[in-house]
Structure 1
Amino acid sequence: MKSCITISLVEEARGGPFVLWDGLRAGCELAAKLGYDAVEVFPPGPEAVEPGELESLLDDNGLKLAAVGTGAGWVKHKLQLADADESKRMKAIEFVRSIIDFAGPFGAVAIIGSMQGRYGDGVDRESARGYLADALEDGGSHAEQYNVPLIYEPLNRYETNQVNTVADGVGLLNRLSTQNVKLLCDLFHMNIEEEDVADALRTGGDKVGHIHFVDSNRRPVGLGHTDFRPIMAALQDIKYSGYLSAEAFPYPDSTAATEQTIRAFRYWTQS
């Protein structure tokens, strides 16, 4: 398993669960200094980052780009994949494609989380789930050209009424014709929704494509009450070899959270 830290470039999301907030250069330099393998970037859109500049930053610091989030599609642009308005749904799909096209050449995945939307406000549950499935079909197929999957994230009940558990996520993926969509298992959301986090990871099995490595209270690992022993055992059982990415609050500050996470990563992956 490989270490990863999140960098947000979206001012509208400041105060949210991203560790680093002071730009790509500063984030990459700190990640490299502490020995991280990769960064996960949350941009306002693909045009906000010049690919050549990012490539140089990654190369200079010995880092990989693990993933790029699409969340600004909702947070900044108010686009979501279950919108009652077809034209807005199409704009949301185009935004997801644009993030895939930005991330793909780096060998990085695009993540759909908050953009999945919800039912209500003129969209019934079946229709919302159908719109989401259509978007995942499109994104999964689009990502194939880069030999990377599209990553879909179940969220807790307070953030969506679409898919809340890993088992429900597996069910959604099983109804797709594309095999190129994997699950993001976020340990914070799982702490709220799952009866047993380790068992849920085993249910995800080979459909688990990315992990958000975070404690029960959305603080860095080690600053909450999650028992990571069974979680790490489950990841070993499913032969997970991807990133453990810290999508956590910068508590007590960004530098301390980055240091705490890499200590926890090393402890749990070397135990």
Structure 2
Amino acid sequence: MMKTAVTLCRVPEMAAGPFVFHDELPVAFAKAAACGFDAVELFFAGPDEVPVETIRELCQGHALGVAAIGSGAGMAKHGLSLTDPSQEKRAQALDFILGMVDYGGKLGAPVILGSMQGKWGGEVSRAQGLGFLAAALKHINEAAAKAGVPFLYEPLNRYETNLFNRLAPAAVFLEQHDLQNILLLADLFHMNIEEPDLAAALIEAGPRVGHVHWADSNRLAMGSGHTDSEAVIAALRGISYQRYVSAEIFTNGDPEAAARQTRESTRKFGI
């Protein structure tokens, strides 16, 4: 059965990003639980920012799980990417993500690679960029498997990366490099820009889909734009998807209203 999650961000440099709650963690966890979510998706400045035991206690106290952990602070706060022209910067980026994977493993949660994938251009050719990405993902794949969690690669829209913008080519890339422990994050906002048919894209990616960002076409709470949520849910059920649909969205200044609207949009499908 699919489960629901909501984003909690504690990175000042990401305060303007598409995250629902930015409160101190005890407050944010309480709000997530009050709105009826099953889990939280966490965005921290790094793996040493919040002790694992603190998260375990908050989860236990509010009957919440950890759906996933974002790595975007590596880019937003530290300017790191896996495809940087600098070998030193690429190494730092990989170390940052491996630290996050270790942290996530202790919470049984996968880590997301979004903005830290970077892009090719300038000093870095497309072939080099993809080579840098594949080499890094090989290390991450092994680390995540050792930690007992999958890893999530997120195709982003064309304005944020030129590596992979659609699910199917990303899935082929993962297969070609035998990255069996890496799954795809299907972000419906990015997909609305890049995929001709959201449901068809999900069906084609099939078992590679490991996480869903549940956002409408305008990146607000589902029901605010023109995404066909019924078709998306039908596709997810068609591929026997059993993981999280998580609200990574803008809130128009009212986080709790956005959170409640998100939960209403999933409850109508029995989620």
For the criterion TM > 0.5, the same-fold answer is: yes
Bigger mean CA offset, 177-186 vs 73-82 = 177-186
Which runs of structure 2 are paired with 1:109-188 in the superposition (5 Å)?
A: 109-188=110-189
Corresponding residue for residue 3 of structure 2: 2
Corresponding residue for residue 269 of structure 2: 268
Q: Distance in 1 between matches of 2:37 and 2:63?
A: 9
Give me the CA root mean square deviation: 0.9
Letter in 2 for 1:25: P
SS in 2 for 1:47: coil
- Report the CA distance between 1:96 and its aligned residue: 0.4
- Report the CA distance between 1:252 and its aligned residue: 4.1
Identical aligned pairs, as a percentage?
A: 44
TM-score with structure 2 length normalisation? 0.98
Structure 2: where are the runs of 5+ without partners?
none
Measured against aligned partners, the alpha-carbon deviations of 1:74-101 in whole angstroms (never above 9, x if no partner) come to: 0100000001111110110000000001
Q: Distance in 2 between matches of 1:150 and 1:23?
A: 27
Q: Distance in 1 between matches of 2:185 and 2:60?
A: 26
SS in 2 for 1:218: coil
Measured against aligned partners, the alpha-carbon deviations of 1:187-217 in whole angstroms (never above 9, x if no partner) come to: 0000000010000001110000000001000
Bigger mean CA offset, 174-183 vs 85-94 = 174-183
Q: Distance in 1 between matches of 2:179 and 2:168?
A: 18
Corresponding residue for residue 46 of structure 2: 45
Structure 1: where are the runs of 5+ without partners?
none
Q: Distance in 2 between matches of 1:17 and 1:126?
A: 31
Conserved 8 A contact 2:212-2:245: yes
Corresponding residue for residue 243 of structure 2: 242
Conserved 8 A contact 2:9-2:44: yes
TM-score with structure 1 length normalisation? 0.98
1:57 aligns with 2:46: no
Q: Distance in 1 between matches of 2:252 and 2:263?
A: 14
- Report the CA distance between 1:137 and its aligned residue: 1.1
Q: Distance in 2 between matches of 1:250 and 1:42?
A: 17
Conserved 8 A contact 1:20-1:250: no
Q: Distance in 1 between matches of 2:128 and 2:205?
A: 25
Letter in 2 for 1:19: V
Conserved 8 A contact 2:52-2:106: no
Corresponding residue for residue 209 of structure 1: 210
Conserved 8 A contact 1:40-1:66: yes
- Report the CA distance between 1:265 and its aligned residue: 1.2
Conserved 8 A contact 1:137-1:178: yes
